[in-house]
Chains A and B, each alone.
Chain A
Amino acid sequence: MERIPIIKIGKYLLVTVQTDVQDNVALALQEDLGNRIIATRARLVLFDISSLQVVDSFIGRVIADIAGIARLLDAEVVVVGMQPAVAITLVELGLTLNGVRTALNVESAVAMAGIRDPI
């Protein structure tokens, strides 16, 4: 089964979703990310979903869950580059990801995080 790579850059983890994800891939990511956060003691996860064009309620749920899991492990998730169509869908599904930070692109996410916690 394909897995979504989790890249460590300094104190950050970068997760880039490159294609539309299948349900089992999303679940695997949820698991992997928890393990990686513990292993690397990362405090911040940049979750880049700019290539994600289609979401359903399940994937929306997983994104929210990933943020929740990371928060429990004392890491913060910044959801980066959500596409308009995806944002509209999530809002219509009622998943407004309250408490999750968001950024337009990786650059601004790094800038946002950099102020608080430089690499």
Chain B
Amino acid sequence: MTSNSTSPLVDQLRANYPSLLDSWIAGQKSAGASRPDLISDADLRRQCSELLTMLIEALASGETDISKPAWERMRATLRSVSMSRARGGWAPSETVQFVFSLKQPLFASLAAEDRAANSAVILELDHLIDRLGLFTADVYQQGREEVILRQQQELLELSTPVVKLWDGILALPLIGTLDSERTQVVMETLLQALIETGSTIAIIDITGVPTVDTRVAQHLIQTVSAARLMGADCLISGIRPQIAQTIVHLGVSLPDVVTKATLADAFVAALDRLGRHVVSNGQASASGR
């Protein structure tokens, strides 16, 4: 698109601005791309008019490559709209349709003037809007991926609580499948907690771990070794019969690691190492237990 053909186009668009805006918004509604539950009419109108102004401005520069600086503002605004829609729960098709639904009113307004002279311009504009739509889709995808990444991160933090059971005894109840990344977080959290609380015994409870393969076993051994290097002992509890079978069948050995069937057993063993034991105060039986 040369600057010669751009100026009349831009003038025309500027002249038709209000009707363009109206029919764009109407187009979105008829295409099912508007979500009155997610965005109010006033907000949508503001968004659209902002984008339309920027589009005309960018066209006025005569540049048709949307990666160029002339399109910087347009891209930034589209990016923020697309990102907020990705986070806000819009469907991908609705987000892209938001851009594509601008085609119809644009072409209609151009075609109304002079068909023959405008066909080249229309083709050019068509490409342009397509690229803007693709750009929007890309950004939308990025937004979704960010959401997934953040959730993964939150899950990591949620799933590794270190619990203090007694003075000098920590418990680490593990839930869910252990992969390398999680084990790394588990290891760091546990070791840090050992230093902060000055605990000498840690119980790793794997009741909530559905499967143990060679890699998980390797991770567990590493955690135990690292804790030992720091001067703390680790007990592993909550090994279910099936998991014990798997471990033996895999030929994995857990050398020098004390394992107990349940967290309670491990806790008793830990207390024992600290030279303490639990005694009844003689009242529990009276209350019927």
Contacts from A to B (Cβ < 8 Å): 79-84, 86-88, 90-92, 96-97, 102-105, 108-109
Contact = CB atoms under 8 A, between A and B. Distances in A.
Contacts of B229: 79, 82, 86-87, 90-91, 96-97, 102
Given A91-B222, A104-B198, A105-B198, A84 B228 contact: no
SS class of chain A's interface: helix, strand, loop or mixed?
mixed
A83 B226 CA distance: 10
Interface stretch (B126-134, B184-192, B277-285): B184-192
Contacts of B231: 79-82, 102-105, 108-109
Contacts of A82: 229-231
14 contacts: A81-B231, A82-B229, A87-B191, A87-B227, A88-B222, A88-B226, A91-B225, A91-B229, A92-B222, A102-B228, A104-B232, A105-B198, A105-B231, A108-B198
A66 to B, nearest CB: 14
B41 to A, nearest CB: 55
A105 B194 CA distance: 11
Contact of B200 (A92, A96, A108): A108
A84 B187 CA distance: 8
Contacts of B230: 81-84, 87, 102, 104
B195 interface: yes
Given A104-B194, A104-B231, 11 more contacts: A79-B231, A82-B231, A84-B194, A88-B191, A91-B225, A92-B222, A96-B225, A102-B230, A104-B195, A104-B200, A108-B198
Nearest to B193: A84
Nearest to B191: A84
A84 B222 contact: no
A26 to B, nearest CB: 17
Contacts of B225: 87, 91, 96
A102 B233 CA distance: 10
Top 5 nearest A-B pairs (CB, nearest first) are A84-B191, A103-B231, A102-B231, A87-B226, A87-B229
Given A81-B231, A82-B229, A102-B229, A88 B198 contact: no
Nearest to B226: A87
Nearest to A63: B229
Given A79-B229, A91-B225, A102-B229, A84 B200 contact: no
Contacts of B187: 84, 88
B111 to A, nearest CB: 67
Contacts of B226: 84, 87-88, 90-91
A18 B226 CA distance: 21
A102 B200 CA distance: 10
B186 to A, nearest CB: 11
A105 B229 CA distance: 12
Contacts of A103: 231
B15 to A, nearest CB: 66
Nearest to B200: A104
A6 B228 CA distance: 25
A58 to B, nearest CB: 17
A83 B196 CA distance: 11
A104 B191 CA distance: 11
A90 B10 CA distance: 67
Interface string B199-234: 110000000000000000000001001111111100
A84 B190 CA distance: 9
A115 to B, nearest CB: 11
